[in-house]
Chains A and B, each alone.
Chain A
């Protein structure tokens, strides 16, 4: 008898609750228009703008470069970021209507646009965005949102121009393998396998430990980096994440449906069968992987430089330069072209937006515009004249100490601010030059070459090259992408496309891993059944939608 009453009262509570939590942001959005307008902010009386960056880190805006920015603009930034990699920050912002002034939300920007949380910048750019206009030029279209809503909401993130002085290739091989085998030419999987086999037979052990000819890291999200990406790379497919996109027609295919990828994984399966693949490639943790690399007994990897920084440092510190790696332009066969140096153009996509509730939209915009100016670009990239760099014969030259720290001290950028405020703000990019024809960033190919370790220099010499990129087909030959890169598209969260892709990604990671580790006789059957499962989850529909997206992007950008 009591339970009826109980149920009734719970129900009433439930409704009451819905009402109370539901009374959301009625009282909000009282952004008093024009308040503070006309007021001049200066270094003595700075305006603090809150800036949320999804890629941000713990940092206060007080380094020398930040102070110089405040001096020039009267703006200070209060930098916020999702602590602990929290994914709920943007939804909570939307639910509560409490937005920071500036928002860098990466892919979540579409949610903010939908919720009316950020403003259109078109008019502001038109009226007072001279620096932005000069910077983006005819690339301005790449900033536009979608074909249905072709407004500009964000600016920044990637360099308008790009220079391609380095690549991690499809595989990286130990320098000692190259030396030992008399500096062979390694272009195809066949060459690559032969080289590993030969070295492995000669040296089954390195420093008393078992040699591992090829090691991958397929136990966490890095599966995508060390297993999924190389598969497309060896087939000469440009980096579009999980997609293979025909840049002329815009046709998109979920990449694991392609026969070339099957061929690659079949090869990996063979490598595993022959004992050439580290049997723990799909179970060891990142730390273990790095420690294996640091021990110098891993002959080759399929990884990116930024993922193995710690191992590289440890090897050099141990005097094992010959155990560090060189990037290889390996492909399935001579007919495939390595895309290691592909220029994806300015892809727009993510960027910094200004919130609709900000009381300082004008100032925020002026700040972003200033960040795109030549003065700002030199300041953020080079630091302060006389402190971080000198002008020698009319050219900017980084101080020796700064150059040294920049290359070796991970805290350099954080402490001095040099280079810290480049990404994700509007940036000119590597290779761009200022009004005097000087490079806008201190990075240069020369710098990269100078930084090679002794073993690297020796190997390059043997091959009669200056830089590893000389192995790769040059950027000019590969053409510029018409659609940018597929992972930059704004895809609606929770849409069918997103759900299908998530399911497909989950499936392929598991099935491909199992197929690689399985019996070679069963590989074909395993692959077939994976394709069937993909079809059953309607991957065709995802292909179609992705094709449409690509076409829309190309139409929006005028590149079709």
Chain B
């Protein structure tokens, strides 16, 4: 990049962005501070971005209370990696066929896909389906039901719609078939959007715990970090009707202090937020067209 003069615009923009940074960083710093603060002291409130009585005890308690965390962490990574890769392959392929307006089933498939964003059979039918497919307690239950998200496919397709066509045309003339065009030309051009979708998929996979509970809790090897943390976090969703003094005492005894909850949030999110910086190189302006020209 050539050296340019800083204009008024740049200065105002930078100041504004610093303001945005402060505002958006606050909740995270707040959680971090509370997680590193003495649990009893936290009850007094007033912790902002710095712990008052610094301690690692909350983290120690979490790691001490559960010896499956490491194994669960590995499983979380595995499902995130496999789920992201398969998801990318599936959604880009489908998106490509939909971007081809000459494709005979373009509209039918497109319509079928979009509709799925807005319909759902509800939990019981979905559970029965997974069960009848024999996916209960299988690793595939993390991958298959989440393979395609209509939203992602449409985002990719709209990106493909914007690609310059000339390349594809020339490849066609060279006798390349549709799959080759997709693989050799379209995919490399789509890296920014693929990076975006990869992020969405990875975050979705990483954050899921409900499917572990519903479909895989019978298989200890399949336990995930989010699920294990969820178990420590809170198992109490008390609603008024359920309260009697005796069970309320039992439940109150199981509820963890705020500091523990915050420490759990930190443990659960730190690994996944590390992903984004690595994907950022695909967001550089001009990358796409640069690739086209070479």
Contacts and interface: CB of A to CB of B under 8 A. Distances in A.
Q: Classify A-B as touching or not with yes or no (CB < 8 A).
A: yes
Contacts of A224: 240, 243
B241 interface: yes
B197 to A, nearest CB: 27
A13 B211 CA distance: 25
B162 interface: no
Contact of A314 (B43, B210, B238, B253): B43
B235 A288 contact: no
Interface stretch (B91-99, B168-176, B226-234): B226-234
Nearest to B34: A287
A423 B234 contact: no
B285 interface: no
A505 interface: yes
B60 interface: no
Contact of B235 (A58, A158, A239, A485): A58
Contacts of A314: 40-41, 43-44
A288 B125 CA distance: 41
B18 interface: no
Most buried by A among B210, B214, B227, B235: B235
B127 A96 contact: yes
Nearest to B231: A58
Q: Is the interface of B mostly helix, strand, loop or mixed?
A: helix
Interface in B199-252: 209-210, 213-214, 217, 227, 230-252
Contacts of A86: 210, 213, 237
B235 A83 contact: yes
Interface stretch (A15-23, A145-153, A245-253): A15-23
Interface stretch (B19-27, B78-86, B128-136, B275-283): B128-136
A92 B230 contact: no
A106 interface: yes
Contact of A95 (B124, B217, B251, B257): B124
B43 A291 contact: yes
A536 interface: no
Contacts of A488: 244
Given A221-B240, A309-B252, A310-B257, A83 B44 contact: no
Nearest to A309: B252
A294 interface: yes
A294 B236 contact: no
Contacts of B234: 84-85
Nearest to A80: B217
Contacts of A424: 247
A125 interface: no
A292 B107 CA distance: 60
Contacts of A287: 45, 258
Contacts of B46: 291
Contacts of A410: 253
B235 A91 contact: no
Contacts of B258: 287
B247 A423 contact: yes
A6 B45 contact: no
Contacts of A317: 40-41
Contacts of B257: 310
B111 interface: yes
A421 to B, nearest CB: 12
Contacts of B247: 55, 106, 423-424
B45 to A, nearest CB: 3
> Interface size bucket, A side?
35 or more
Given A6-B111, A58-B235, A423 B246 contact: yes
A203 B132 CA distance: 69
Interface residues of B, number: 53
Given A107-B242, A291-B46, A313 B237 contact: no
A290 interface: yes
Given A6-B108, A158-B246, A487-B241, A17 B43 contact: no
Nearest to A82: B235
B123 interface: yes
Contacts of B227: 83
Contacts of B286: none
B180 interface: no
Given A487-B241, A487-B244, A294 B232 contact: no
B209 A23 contact: no
A55 B237 CA distance: 10
Contacts of B290: none
A518 to B, nearest CB: 24
A331 B247 CA distance: 26
B213 A84 contact: yes
Nearest to B240: A224
Interface string A487-514: 1100000000000000001000000000
B264 to A, nearest CB: 12
A287 B256 CA distance: 13
A257 to B, nearest CB: 18
B45 A56 contact: no
Given A84-B213, A158-B246, A91 B45 contact: no
B14 interface: no
Contact of B131 (A56, A58, A96, A413): A96
Contacts of A481: none
A304 B245 contact: yes
B55 interface: no
Contacts of A423: 246-247, 250
Contacts of B241: 107, 241, 487
Interface string A72-113: 000000001111111110011001100000000011000000
B40 A313 contact: yes
B120 interface: no
A216 B199 CA distance: 44
Nearest to B127: A92
A288 B45 contact: yes
B123 A92 contact: yes
Contacts of B123: 88, 92
A333 to B, nearest CB: 26
A57 B240 contact: no
A278 to B, nearest CB: 14
21 contacts: A2-B107, A82-B235, A83-B231, A85-B235, A86-B237, A88-B123, A91-B124, A92-B124, A96-B127, A221-B240, A224-B243, A241-B241, A288-B45, A290-B43, A290-B45, A291-B44, A294-B45, A310-B257, A410-B253, A413-B253, A424-B247
Interface of A: 2, 6, 17, 20-21, 23-24, 55-58, 80-88, 91-92, 95-96, 106-107, 158, 221, 223-225, 239, 241, 287-288, 290-292, 294-295, 304, 306-307, 309-311, 313-314, 317, 410, 413, 423-424, 485, 487-488, 505
Given A95-B128, A313-B40, 18 more contacts: A17-B121, A21-B125, A23-B132, A24-B128, A84-B233, A84-B235, A85-B237, A87-B237, A88-B123, A92-B124, A221-B239, A225-B243, A239-B245, A287-B45, A290-B43, A291-B45, A307-B248, A314-B40
Please name the 7 residue pairs, one residue from A and one from B, whose CB atoms are nearest each other, closest first.
A85-B237, A291-B45, A21-B125, A306-B252, A58-B231, A310-B43, A224-B240
